[in-house]
């Protein structure tokens, strides 16, 4: 402290997102959204893939996991619709079930969690689109499906 009462210590430096290790990203994710707590090395590896955009890796990215997450979510929505007789008509089904998994509905949830800050992106990717964060959210749901359900 100086005589004027100001600290002489520099504020802690934040590490740029692209330099953060995958383990740090998963720890942040667990704090932001405790439902995305992955135990075991296989689950953690899949979670890292779920946060990986295709601009960083053409082969180990979140595209396939997002498909699993979308299918899992649609199954849950279909079960919910089945249990509600008032939603059995085709139009109600489409509005209630399938639209839940549209980018416009998933992106705000993903951004509230802060997935755009946790994603692993290639160097040329400066902006994280709604589609990218929605896909990451679906991929994380896919990891839950693959690691916490029985075959």
pLDDT tens per residue across all 151 residues of the chain = 445 555 455 444 454 555 578 999 999 999 999 999 999 999 999 999 999 999 999 999 999 999 999 999 888 877 877 787 776 666 666 666 566 677 888 999 999 999 999 999 998 888 999 999 999 999 999 999 999 877 6
Q: What is the pLDDT of residue 128?
A: 94
d(CA 11, CA 33): 27
Burial degree of 90 (CB within 10 A; 0-12, 13-18, 19+): exposed
Q: CATH for 21-26+36-148?
A: 1.10.1520.10
Neighbours of 54 (CB within 10 A): 16
Give yes or no for a contact between 94 and 14, defined as CB atoms under 8 angstroms apart.
Answer: no
Q: Which residues contact 47 (CB under 8 A, 6 or more apart)?
A: 26, 29, 36, 38, 140, 143
> Where do the structural domains in the chain lie, given as residue ranges?
21-26+36-148
Give yes or no for a contact between 50 and 136, defined as CB atoms under 8 angstroms apart.
Answer: yes
């Amino acid at each position: 402290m100086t005589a004027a009462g100001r600290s002489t210590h520099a504020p802690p430096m934040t590490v740029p997102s692209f330099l953060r290790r995958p383990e740090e990203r998963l720890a942040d994710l667990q704090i932001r959204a405790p439902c995305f707590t992955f135990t075991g090395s296989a689950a953690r590896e899949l979670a890292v893939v779920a946060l990986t955009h295709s601009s960083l890796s053409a082969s180990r990215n979140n595209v396939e996991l997002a498909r699993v997450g979308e299918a899992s979510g649609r199954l849950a929505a279909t079960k919910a619709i089945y249990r509600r007789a008032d939603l059995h008509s085709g139009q109600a089904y489409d509005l209630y079930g399938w639209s839940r998994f549209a980018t416009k509905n998933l992106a705000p949830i993903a951004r509230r969690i802060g997935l755009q800050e946790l994603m692993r992106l290639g160097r040329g990717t400066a902006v994280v689109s709604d589609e990218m964060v929605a896909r990451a959210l679906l991929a994380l749901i896919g990891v839950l499906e693959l690691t916490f359900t029985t075959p």
